[in-house]
Amino acid sequence: MDVHGLRLFAAVAREGSFAAAAHRCGIDPSSVSRAIAALEAEIGVRLFQRTTRRVALTEAGSLFLARVEPVVDELDRAQVEALNLGSGPSGTLRLTAPVSFGQTHIVPLLSRFRERHPGLKLECLFTDANLDLVSERIDLAVRLAPSIGSDVIAVKLMETRYRVVASPAYLSSAPPLKGPPDLAQHRCLLFILPEFRTRWLFRDAEGTVSEVPVNGDFFISPAIGLLDAALAAMGPALLPHWLVAEDLSAGRLIDVFPAYAVTATTFDTAAWLLYPSRSFLPGKVRAMIDFLQEHVGRRAGRRPPARDPAVPSVRYL
């Protein structure tokens, strides 16, 4: 029985479409259709019910998938492990991340990553849109969010927090900012997302949360553009600490309200590493996860998590 045909059968079952399975596997849809027809002829049963919009497993197809899928996945795992043992991770890794995070935390590390893994090709898609990992064939994604849904596998890369910052030049000529309510006297620099445009949340040392209205006439995305505007003394801005840490240390920006925790959405946020739910973790993805935990974690001001080979830092399905 042809292993390639079994892989395509499992792909069609997962995607619910011949075309989507073909896109995922990088082949022509007609090749998928022929492979499934040949498999059905070989085993003597219909595996899928076809309609004009989608395909669905028959009862026999469901039973066949339950037996075949673990075997195919184990063969894939064995192949990857054999390849990695001989020459290290190989192939093409498609990585996506938000624009500002990618430019500041990933691009500066790429030369070091290539030196460590010369057999890997890397495709970086930096966008503030949340790309669909399956349809876009994404191997690994960085997402900035409070939490992640259960449809993907996720591991926390680092915790994130926000600060209200302004340049010394701006603060020297603007009305004083003694407390968050004073923001009403300022034209703030605002991130373009709706939840960032009208009010910011402040939490004091006692845990009391207050909602402070903000207004301004300058809206921008990505966040790195907002940082440039703050450095140019255009006003106060709410920005993530991973983007402003160096400028704060160098004195190019001032943390306006250091006694407060600040956010536009929720105080508990993080940068996450995501990959699609699979039965094993490809070596190329493991290599990038380990690399980002080591280097981005260190730049974030914390030690990267120790990796015990017996207890992976990501969940395996």
Indicate the domain borders of the chain: 3-86, 88-159+268-299, 162-263
Q: What is the mean pLDDT of residues 45-70?
A: 86
Q: 143-188 pLDDT, tens per residue?
A: 998 877 666 788 899 999 999 999 999 999 999 999 999 999 999 9
Entry pTM: 0.68
Dist. CA 216–CA 164, nearest whole Å: 14
As a whole-number percent, the residues of the chain with pLDDT over 70 amount to 87
Give the β-pairing of 189-191 and 218-220. Answer: parallel
- Strands (DSSP E) contained in 42-188 are 48-50, 55-57, 91-97, 120-126, 140-145, 152-160, 162-166
Q: Which of 270, 274, 265, 272 is nearest to 146 (CA)?
A: 270
Fold of 88-159+268-299: D-Maltodextrin-Binding Protein; domain 2 (3.40.190)
Average pLDDT value over all residues in the chain: 86
Q: Can you give the pLDDT at residue 87?
A: 60
Q: 255-290 pLDDT, tens per residue?
A: 999 999 999 999 999 999 998 865 567 888 989 999
Q: Can you give the pLDDT at residue 136?
A: 84
Contact in structure between 224 and 103 (CB atoms under 8 Å): yes
Same fold for the pair 88-159+268-299 and 162-263: yes
Fold of 3-86: Arc Repressor Mutant, subunit A (1.10.10)
CATH code for 162-263? 3.40.190.290
